[in-house]
Structure 1
Amino acid sequence: MVDSLNTRPDTVIDQQSRQPNEAELVHMLYDAVIDNSLWPEMISELMEHIELSHPNDLSKSPDRFHGLITHFERAMRLSENIVALQEENATLGGVLDSLSVGLMVFDHGGNKIFSNRAARDYGVDYNSIGELEHEVEHLHVSSETQLPILGHADSRGTSIALVDASKIKSGILPPNAAKIVVGLPALTTQSFEDFRLRYFLSKAEGRLVKALHASNNLRKAATECRITYESARTYLKRVYLKTGVSEQSSLLLLVDRNPLSLLDREPQNTDPSLPVRRNLLLRDGRNLEYFEIGPPDGHILLHFDALTGVAIDAIGAPERYIPHLEALGLRIIVPCRPGTFGSHFKTMAGLSDFTNDLNQLLDHLDAKTVTVFSQAFGSCSALAFAATTSHRVDKLVLCAPSYPRHEPMDWRSMDVFYIISGVIGRRAPALLKAIVPYLMRSVMQNTKKYLERHITRSKCPADIAVLSSPVLQKRIPEMLALRTLQGSDGLVQENYLNTHGWDFELGSLTMPVHILQGELDNVSDPEGSRKLQAALPNAMYHSFPSLGQYLLFTEWPWILEACKCDGSTAAVIERARESMSDSKQITAA
């Protein structure tokens, strides 16, 4: 019999926790408009309020909740408008921050009201007009037809121009804008390299152009390049021919007007490391993207990541894992589920519908057997693959697995992703298509706020340290943006299948299964992991009293070691447990 999860999960309702009344729910709705991170909890509270009403209320009195639902729809529209404005502002800010030109705006009181990143990076970010004018010793005003130039504000040669707002085209700047400051940095080495490549100059010709731009004197440029003056003249003639100009001033103007120099770009990466992101054309014509790190001949660890995909950050920090993987003889393969990252979407009736794609991937990699390991919600797909392709899986290592047959006593203490998938996805799956795209946008725009809410609920110091990391706060929105690059259909389907798509039997997983569970986890409830272990024929439950949901973030070295195919998994895990216990005793002493 298929291990169907479409029934109500084993739930113990906490009778002592008071449910909010309808008036309080309305107040909570509009609180969620102001603080988007409240929405997952708010939606779940609303559903529970309706569920816990008298069973026949909806059939006898269908309009009873009309007012509450109207408030919900209005609040959601307001919140969506706010997120849309945040996205518009983020786009505008991103465009302005991508420029190498520094921009500042001052009000009529002389106070700064805006600056972009270049202004801050190039040291021209002053808090008032007075500070700016004091910094620049000589104020040069050339004429009424030209911009007032304040000279160079730093040793790097950043030129500063101060412009009265009234000189700017009307209707563009806000009414409180009085002065605009533009900072144009000196050209970088990359700017000259761009120019060289654009006009097919040789490296020697490129060096001469750069030296000539700095000195505006061909003899000095020749000396700088350590060539004779006659050689410099020869090079310059060839440069004129390639660029289509006939005099030195026109050449230098052409260099200055290179549009690429206006963009603040990353330095060119000279690291010849192998690309992590790869693609496979499947037999039905769809694309399957996967990430690969580790030696080409290493034993494959088929990793099913969580929704954020940063526990093993294969894209963002592959260099962190490669030395360890090489030492262990392991290779991590992360398949991207349909509709996420670069994998084309396909409609799936159950989690096992992904198995055919995965088998094509393993055939492509010439892998006869693999070790499967997962993080959090990724365990659902991991179990489905292992159950339907048991002959290719030697063992499973599940970190903080999700088991939807279990719903915690107090889901309110869980994080946003559990509430979306485990609560909303189970109780009102039809809502997922409507709210998941919005909620993901909200998380991307308000990541810090979402993490702060999760931190206040966490009882695990190790989890709090992970969630407080500025790197994580940066990587979560980046990865969610990549995951939803093709839209949200893949993410909606994934959330739905994690609770409604268990179309396989847990009893068919006869290979060893190791469940690594932090007892302070407030996302994957330890009691749920124990129930999962009891439902599997050959599973071991490994408890870590001082860890929580994010144990893979901090414990990945020994977890990867435990994934080796040499039969040492249990011993490696037990050694890690003992090490943590000894460390705790030393700290206490």
Structure 2
Amino acid sequence: MSKTKNGTAAPPEGGRDVLIDRLYEVAMDPGRASEMLEQWNTLVNPLRATADQQKIVLLNDSAMEEHIARADRFLERYANTLEPPNERQTLIEYFDMAAAFLIESDLTVSTANSGAQASLGVTEGAPAAALPVDQDDLPNLLKQMRNMLAGRGSNISLFRVRSSDLGHFIVFHIRRRTLQDGAQCLVVATSELAWPPAFDGILTEAFNFTQTEVEIVRMLIECCSIKDIAEQRGRSVDTIRAQIKSILAKTETRSQVELIRLILSMMDMTGFAVTGQQTTEAWSRGYTGNPDASGAAKLHTINTPDGRRLDYLTWGDPSGTPVIHLHVEIGMSRWPKSGEQAARKAGIRIITPIRAGYGNSSPLPDKTDFTRGVVDDIVHVLKAESIEKCHVVSLCADVRFAAHIEKYYPGVMQSLIAVAGTPPPDSPGEYDHMDLWQRFLLVCARYTPHLLTFTVKTGFLMARKYGQRKFLEHVYHRSPADKEQFNDPEIWEAVTTGIQICLSDTHSAHKAFTRTISEEIKGWHAEFCALEGKLPVHFINGTLDGQATMEIIEPFFRDHPWVSYELIEGAGQLLIYSHWDKVLKKIGQFR
């Protein structure tokens, strides 16, 4: 081993050159991040003892810094080549059950979904005049499109035209839309559609329809005339008219056109709920309805004293026992539907502050003490909710933030429940017991901090390229207990909905993520020990956790007898998703 001019320990040149090669490979393909991590691990591990003794940073010479900076520029270029979400494509993805397409200002089709291509023969780039509409109806349809694109008349219209080759009527539901670039387009959804799954039940629940009325509505949407419906159902025209009159009364619509518009809009919403892009505000299936009545999550926004935006979520009992939920750096901000509903039944209100730099919460200034800033934001949320005292549920290493709540705002926290809690770092040797990704992030932050931002950014780009599931399975590939949870639809829904605040097609919290990891390695044992005798502290850990491993937590529990704990056999780091009931039970015992 040699030393560089500035005194940092340097690895053998052969291994160093391989690492440099891996840096550039990752910059071209983030999917090769694991290869870089393995090579970095090979180089850094033998040097850690020397770095601790001499208090030096590894791989920090000017040449290496130049390579990292150059690789980062390549990585940024790669990030720019990742196609951002196509706004036009997104607009018609909501209509996955209906044939839908976009009409541009020059009356051409710019985007068409598979239904429009298959059932209507619509092709991208074709003129609107080529739509399969009867030549007697086509001029009026084109005139209406021109007027709407010019801003004349209503933003929404409904056209019923005869098909030129399909032998029946088609309903065109047209909506004018202003795109992000300022261009005007028309979103056209048609009656050529597949009846959405479970839509019968939705109509029955919403309007108290009989099954006969549901079937008549479906036939109206399919553009059947009253005469056609009567013939197909073996009833008189007067009987069908009477049944349609009953349907109009139940839906409080005044005509068949208004009824069809309502039903098509409901289909639009049904398609959006299933396939639309999930964000902090677009809750997943099962969370809809009146939050105050169902316990569903609700988004709130406040401004901090320094003018930053700060978002937070609430669910459970609106007037229940307040509990702050800390979402950890990966952004696990939601629970499964059953857990969120159970919180309401238990008389518990969960409040999740969206950390600075996550979701739409404004980042903290670069020179701000990150830990203090996060804690201050939590207290801002409590003040906004008129809460003086609360219980705290922390995930993984967020125990650190909880300990600092008591440090900066003594008496606010009534109890701490650390789920998959990671204890204060005792020695750098603890890192050796962790899985690759968890170990790398912490060791990198300690010994090669100049490489941390590059690597975190790589991980986020990897998630964008390969999708959240493949990325998470890669991170947790050595934890079958965690990977198995992804197979539960309710849990997977909670995972993907919750981590939208951290990584999605349109948002990356890699800067805040990096700051969190950088702070995590700092000593906070004194802050944690200061909790003794002031409030109950309880850890819930899994025996197969890849970060808070048994080699780490067993000595911790032995050395801190004032901490109560329970171990869940066979559970991993993501145990909050399947063992939220233990959390609610413990909150009930502490309140």
Into which bin does the TM-score normalised by the smaller protein fall? 0.5 to 0.7
The answer for the alignment partner of 1:329 in structure 2 is 347
Task: Work out the CA distance in 2 between the residues paired with 1:418 and 1:385.
Answer: 26
Alpha-carbon spacing, 1:409–1:48, altered in 2? closer, same or farther (3 Å): farther
Deviations 1:25-71 (A, max 9, x none): 35644664676244266257437626746989xx9xx99994x7776
Partner of residue 334 from structure 2, selected from 301, 304, 313: 313
Deviations 1:438-478 (A, max 9, x none): 532332432233233334322xx432311455666666565
Partner of residue 192 from structure 2, selected from 172, 185, 195: 185
The answer for the alignment partner of 2:485 in structure 1 is 466
SS in 2 for 1:385: helix
Contact 1:351 1:503 in 2 (8 A): no
Alpha-carbon spacing, 1:395–1:65, altered in 2? closer, same or farther (3 Å): same
The answer for the alignment partner of 2:472 in structure 1 is 451
The answer for the alignment partner of 1:381 in structure 2 is 401
Partner of residue 427 from structure 1, selected from 435, 447, 450: 447
The answer for the alignment partner of 2:242 in structure 1 is 226
Task: Work out the CA distance in 2 between the residues paired with 1:45 and 1:495.
Answer: 21
The answer for the alignment partner of 1:439 in structure 2 is 459
Task: Work out the CA distance in 1 between the residues paired with 2:555 and 2:226.
Answer: 77
Task: Work out the CA distance in 2 between the residues paired with 1:302 and 1:394.
Answer: 11
SS in 1 for 2:588: coil
Deviations 1:396-431 (A, max 9, x none): 1111223344446665962646633x2333333344
Partner of residue 520 from structure 2, selected from 498, 508, 519: 498
Task: Work out the CA distance in 2 between the residues paired with 1:549 and 1:228.
Answer: 56
Q: How does 1:123-202 map to 2 (within 5 A)?
A: 151=166, 185-186=192-193
Contact 2:321 2:349 in 1 (8 A): yes
Q: How does 1:287-298 map to 2 (within 5 A)?
A: 287-298=309-320
Task: Work out the CA distance in 2 between the residues paired with 1:125 and 1:212.
Answer: 14
Amino acid in structure 1 at the alignment position of 2:30: N
Partner of residue 325 from structure 2, selected from 303, 306, 311: 303
Deviation at 1:557, TM superposition (A): 0.9
Q: How does 1:68-147 map to 2 (within 5 A)?
A: 80-88=76-84, 94=90, 97-100=93-96, 118-119=114-115
Task: Work out the CA distance in 2 between the residues paired with 1:288 and 1:435.
Answer: 27
Are residues 1:526 and 2:540 paired? no
The answer for the alignment partner of 2:360 in structure 1 is 342
Task: Work out the CA distance in 2 between the residues paired with 1:365 and 1:151.
Answer: 59
Deviation at 1:72, TM superposition (A): 5.6
Task: Work out the CA distance in 2 between the residues paired with 1:328 and 1:531.
Answer: 34
Greater mean alpha carbon deviation, residues 386-395 or residues 556-565: 386-395
Partner of residue 39 from structure 1, selected from 27, 33, 44: 33
SS in 1 for 2:573: coil
Structure 1 length as normaliser, TM-score? 0.60
Deviations 1:276-331 (A, max 9, x none): 21233444443332211111232122111223333x625xx5x4224422343222
Deviations 1:250-299 (A, max 9, x none): xx9x99x99x9899544899723345212334444433322111112321
Q: How does 1:16-27 map to 2 (within 5 A)?
A: 21-22=15-16, 24-25=18-19
Alpha-carbon spacing, 1:472–1:50, altered in 2? closer, same or farther (3 Å): same
Task: Work out the CA distance in 2 between the residues paired with 1:183 and 1:263.
Answer: 15
Matched residue count: 455
Amino acid in structure 1 at the alignment position of 2:290: P
SS in 2 for 1:516: strand
Amino acid in structure 2 at the alignment position of 1:289: D
Contact 1:293 1:322 in 2 (8 A): yes
Alpha-carbon spacing, 1:473–1:21, altered in 2? closer, same or farther (3 Å): farther
Amino acid in structure 1 at the alignment position of 2:541: Q
Task: Work out the CA distance in 2 between the residues paired with 1:456 and 1:358.
Answer: 33
Deviations 1:374-416 (A, max 9, x none): 1113222122213433422222111122334444666596264
The answer for the alignment partner of 2:435 in structure 1 is 414
SS in 1 for 2:355: coil
Structure 1 residue ranges without an equivalent (≥5):
1-17, 105-114, 127-139, 160-181, 194-206, 233-237, 244-251, 568-589
Structure 2 residue ranges without an equivalent (≥5):
1-11, 102-110, 122-131, 139-162, 173-188, 204-216, 231-236, 249-253, 275-284
Task: Work out the CA distance in 2 between the residues paired with 1:472 and 1:219.
Answer: 44
Task: Work out the CA distance in 2 between the residues paired with 1:418 and 1:265.
Answer: 39
Task: Work out the CA distance in 1 between the residues paired with 2:24 and 2:222.
Answer: 63
The answer for the alignment partner of 1:49 in structure 2 is 43
The answer for the alignment partner of 1:553 in structure 2 is 577
Deviations 1:540-559 (A, max 9, x none): 34333422212222111122
Contact 1:295 1:331 in 2 (8 A): yes
Identity of aligned residues (%): 17
- RMSD value over aligned CA atoms? 5.6
SS in 2 for 1:351: helix
Task: Work out the CA distance in 2 between the residues paired with 1:351 and 1:369.
Answer: 20
SS in 2 for 1:547: coil
The answer for the alignment partner of 1:202 in structure 2 is none
The answer for the alignment partner of 2:392 in structure 1 is 372
Alpha-carbon spacing, 1:187–1:321, altered in 2? closer, same or farther (3 Å): closer
Deviations 1:54-105 (A, max 9, x none): 989xx9xx99994x7776666655555445444447777645634556599x
Contact 1:520 1:546 in 2 (8 A): yes
Contact 1:519 1:548 in 2 (8 A): yes
Deviation at 1:509, TM superposition (A): 0.8
SS in 2 for 1:21: helix
Deviation at 1:561, TM superposition (A): 0.5
SS in 2 for 1:515: strand
